[in-house]
Amino acid sequence: MRCLRLAGPCSGRTSCRLPRLWDHHVASASHGATDSSAEVEQVLALSIGERCVLVRPISGMREPSDGATYAWGVVERCVSPMRCQDVSARGFASKSWWGVPVGVGLLSVVVAAGVNLLTVPADGDWVRRWWVWIAAGVLVALVAGVVLQRGRVAGSPVVRAVAAVDAGDGVMEVVVATASGAVLSSAVREGGGWGQWVEHPMSGRAWDVAAVQPSWDVVEYYVVDRDGVIRGRRRDRGEWSSWRNVPAPASGHARVVRISAASLKPGHRELYAVLDDGRLLHAWKWDDSSIWSEWHATETAGGTDVAACSPKDDLLELFFLDRDGNVWHRWYWNATWHEWENWGHPGSSARALTVFRRAVDHQEIFVAGKAGDLANRWHKGGEAWSDWGVLETPDDFVDVAGATTSAFRLWCIGVGSDGCLWSRTHNRVWAPQWQRVDIHQ
């Protein structure tokens, strides 16, 4: 996959070209669709997700001179540590002609200033004799500083998906999938800071993540990889199991691209999966059973994201994003699913959402819009849903998660378009500003 910075009318935008091996997926996803651009957008996201973050639908298809079909998408920026090259609209050409002389000029100024600073107190003859070595030393120090800084930045993983869960005892756990496909997690304790990030090695490369607490002192992580395979691992009283495959849905050529997890009551966990053809399926498992249920359809189509939570035992709330960015809602109560409600979108067209239990019979939902807005509303049993509130964000969020460390403190976690992780807390009032989360291992 290659990326280029567009010149001319599209100056400042970045486009990414789809590799040949995805051509047949593009064709199959578009075949017979009423909104082929939206379906192709998901296919494009599957192939370039480790590098770029889509912010607009694909503008269309083009036929290059070699006869191969490619999809093009407008993206905010590349989020891989390997950044996109700046090129002209004619192709993958060299950088602008003035870049090299400007860089050399600035470097010369810095070296000259360093030499001058170091030699002010020295004797003139001594300076004339050793000025070459002094200049070389300043240059080496400058280059070493740049290399170390680049290494520090590159060492911070680029995040593409996030999930969070209240693990009990005043602890929230956050799990992320990085652009390289790694799975990392950290814990935050009420009144404390972020713990060290821990990697969870697995076969395959993670694409999306989910987390759930099905029983007291038990936490489970779920991951869907780039091939659509779902895996889960369980920590029971501090002991982690190995990753185990969750039976795949019978979905033909469609693959899972987004997942969410919830627990209806102790001993139960339920997985929701959005396929790349837009269908939403779910399956569940009880502690007293060694096998998962069959996957069941939810009478929806054209989906892009899903979130679920259980505000109290035997009640399950389900939220679903369609390709127009609308939020859909339904709930399960008294062993019955109620009809879908279309909430529209609270701000701009929605791209990601999360919902979580804040306290018994109290839930919160956050919806990230494609224009960088973040909307929030909540519901308590016996009351109507609140009005939408809007939060400013430090960046356009491409994914969002939330959980609590206590009934009074909730956390909203967002993934910026540059792959940075952000957090903000609410304890009766919102914290003054978002905090960037440093991911270190």
Residue stretches of the chain with pLDDT short of 70: 1-135, 137-138, 141-155, 441
Q: Which residues of 5-29 are buried (b: 16+ CB within 10 A; e: fewer)?
A: bebeeeeebbbbbbeeebeebbebb
pLDDT value of position 128: 64
The pTM (predicted TM-score) of the whole model is 0.71
Burial class of residue 311 in the structure, from the number of CB atoms within 10 Å of its CB (0-12 exposed, 13-18 middle, 19+ buried):
buried
Is residue 106 classed exposed, middle or buried when 0-12, 13-18 and 19+ CB atoms within 10 A define those classes?
exposed
Q: Which residue is associated with the tokens 């990697």? A: 199
**Per-residue pLDDT, 14:** 42
Q: In this structure, are residues 393 and 374 in contact, taking their beta carbons and an 8 Å threshold?
A: yes
Contact by Cβ (8 Å): 281, 272: yes
Rounded to whole angstroms, the Cα distance separating 85 from 94 reads 9
d(CA 274, CA 280): 5
In whole angstroms, what is the distance from residue 24 CA to residue 296 CA?
27
CA 373, 72, 415, 236 torsion-angle sign: positive
- pLDDT value of residue 108: 60
Degrees to nearest 5, angle at CA 284 with 278 and 288: 170
**Listed residue (6, 1, 27, 30) closest to 16, CA to CA:** 1
pLDDT at 69: 30
Amino acid at 422: W
247 vs 186: CA distance, rounded Å: 27
CA 199 to each of CA 122, 192, 245, 421: distance values in angstroms, whole numbers, following the listed order = 53, 21, 18, 16
> Do the Cβ atoms of 404 and 166 come closer than 8 Å?
yes
- Rounded to 5°, the CA angle 176-179-183 comes to 35
The dihedral formed by the CA atoms of 425, 426, 429 and 431, expressed in degrees to the nearest 10: 0
